[in-house]
Structure 1
Amino acid sequence: MQFSDTNLAPTLEGTKCYRRHNYVVVEKKLGWNEAKVNCESLGGHLADIKSLEEEMFIENYAIQSHAENALWIGGTDVQEEGTFLWLDGTKLDDWYTNWNSREPNNNNRLSQPENCLLIEMVEGTWKWGDASHAYKCKSLCEFN
């Protein structure tokens, strides 16, 4: 891991920078809890997306080559069902949201609650959905 001179955020291979925040896709497929711990062990956190501009940057520069995959981001409603919070404790609804239609729905075929947030390609557009913490996918880490 290297640090850039301008903002002290780590620079990992494949890192993309937006407004002094760096983003990197972790290729290893993990459950949400493991992805959270992994990003923290790298010195960051699962990404939060708090504006349309930030999401557009992430879509166009950080995750554009990962359209076949869902990626974990840092939201959860584990504290109160239906109230999604970013890992910093702020409500998603107080910022920007990009839910897929009929999401969040806390509904899966395995009868496990869907308390964790991911971003995935749906009919050619990146959208957010909730999924079980046990689902394994890539993740998007953010470094401030």
Structure 2
Amino acid sequence: MYEQAEPVRSPFSGPGQSDGPPQPPPVRQSGGSRGRGRHGNGASDNMREEQEESSHTYEEAEVAIRHATADRTYPGEASGRSALCSFIHSHRSCMAAGIAVLISLVAVVLAPLTFINKEEISQLSTTVDALKLELDKERSRTAALEHHHHEIRKALLSCPKGYTMWREICYKAFNSEKTFNEAAAGCREDGGTLAMPRDAETNAFLISLHKSVNDNDVFWFGLHDRREEGSFEWVDGSALGTYNSWAPGQPDNLGNHDCVLYSAHEPWKDKWNDATCDWPLRYICQAVASYKN
């Protein structure tokens, strides 16, 4: 009876793998060895026979491994990898060189443009400065012309007797006492109305004007709410507007307090206060300046 060695399986083949490496041929058995085992030294012959079988088995396993490794190496794989690496390396160098050249070209193109823009900006800045200087000069000339025109108008305009001109309007504080209606009528006789301090500057001028006549008494001026309670208006029918100089807590609209005066008592001195229109008080008129004949 002959024994057959078990074939060595490749480490690259797995379970169920049908296309694995070729199996090594079965170990050849020598009939002569068996015969010699029967007639010669049994123990020595058996040892030699086992060594020869082991040697053949290892050699055949190495052959199988080499076959499996050879099957896993594809034709041209080593040379292909080498060519691909060389291609990538050479193209990286070309790309880097191309980018460097492109950057250089952009710098060359933009350099003169930057220089031109700086020159244009400098020229534009100089032009703007010149225009600003010219505008300032023109404003100065305009202000001088307006002042000259105003002085000419003042020289040509005149006020009714006893009136003082302020911004080409004539004002007068009267030291006689009248009701609000009587004072308005007296102003009309001079071609004007009760005074209307529509702004802080005119208000301050009227205070200084009435103080020059009497600093310790109250004066009517042309503000009232007789047509609608709480809705104050000037004697020419225009609304009060945004400016006012009311005393603290005023107007209080007590009773028939429908006409407005300059107060003479602290802490309301020279502030606006509403009062009864029938009180006889001093008053301030305004009239339009006229050209001299």
Q: Match for 1:130: what amino acid?
A: D
Residues 91, 122 of structure 1: alpha-carbon distance in 2 compared, 3 angstrom cutoff: farther
* Structure-1 residue corresponding to 2:206: 58
The letter of the residue matching 2:175 is E
Asked if residue 115 in structure 1 is aligned to residue 258 in structure 2, the reply is yes
- The equivalent of 2:225 in structure 1 is 77
**Against the structure 1 CA distance between its residues 16 and 8, is the aligned structure 2 distance closer, same or farther, given a 3 Å change threshold?**
closer
Quote the offset at 1:121 in angstroms: 2.6
Q: Paired residue for 2:275?
A: 131
Provide the C-alpha distance between the structure 1 equivalents of 2:192 and 2:245, rounded to a whole number of angstroms: 23
Alpha-carbon RMSD: 1.7
1:6 corresponding residue in structure 2: 156
* Corresponding position of 1:97: 244
Q: 2: distance between equivalents of 1:97 and 1:7?
A: 30
Distance 2:286 2:242 in 1: 17
Partner of 2:235: 87
Q: Distance in 1 between matches of 2:156 and 2:265?
A: 36
Identity %: 28
Instruction: Deviation per CA, 1:61-105: give whole Å up to 9, x if none.
Output: x1123221111100110110001100111111x142101111111
Name 1:23's counterpart in structure 2.
171
Residue 8 of structure 1: how far off its partner (Å):
4.5
Larger Rg: 2
Q: 182, 186, 195: which is aligned to 1:34?
A: 182
Cα deviation, 1:26-51, whole Å, max 9, x if unaligned, reads 22101101111111112111000000
- Which residue type is aligned with residue 258 of structure 2? N
* TM-score when normalising by structure 1: 0.84
Q: Structure 1: 5+ residue runs without aligned partners?
A: none
Distance (whole Å) between structure 2 residues aligned to residue 26 and residue 57 of structure 1:
15
- Asked whether the 8 Å contact 1:67–1:120 carries over to 2, the reply is no
- For 1:51 and 1:113, locate their aligned partners in 2 and report how far apart those are by CA, in whole Å: 26
| Aligned mates of 2:224, 2:172 — CA distance in 1 | 20
Question: d(CA) in 2 for partners of 1:71 and 1:33?
Answer: 13
Displacement, 1:55? 1.0
The question of whether the paired residues in 1 share the 8 Å contact of 2:220 and 2:282 is answered with yes
Q: TM-score, normalised by structure 2?
A: 0.43
> What displacement does 1:7 show?
2.8
Number of aligned positions between the proteins: 133
What amino acid does structure 1 have at the position aligned with 2:261?
Answer: L
2-side partners of 1:121 and 1:134: how far apart? 18
Q: Distance in 2 between matches of 1:25 and 1:102?
A: 26
CA distance in 2, matches of 1:115, 1:38: 19
Shift of residue 127 of structure 1? 0.5
- Tell me the distance in 2 between the aligned counterparts of 1:95 and 1:89: 15
Name segments (4+ residues, structure 1) moved above 6 Å.
none
Deviations 1:108-127 (A, max 9, x none): xxxx5011111123426410
Alpha-carbon distance in structure 2 between the residues aligned to 1:23 and 1:120 = 19
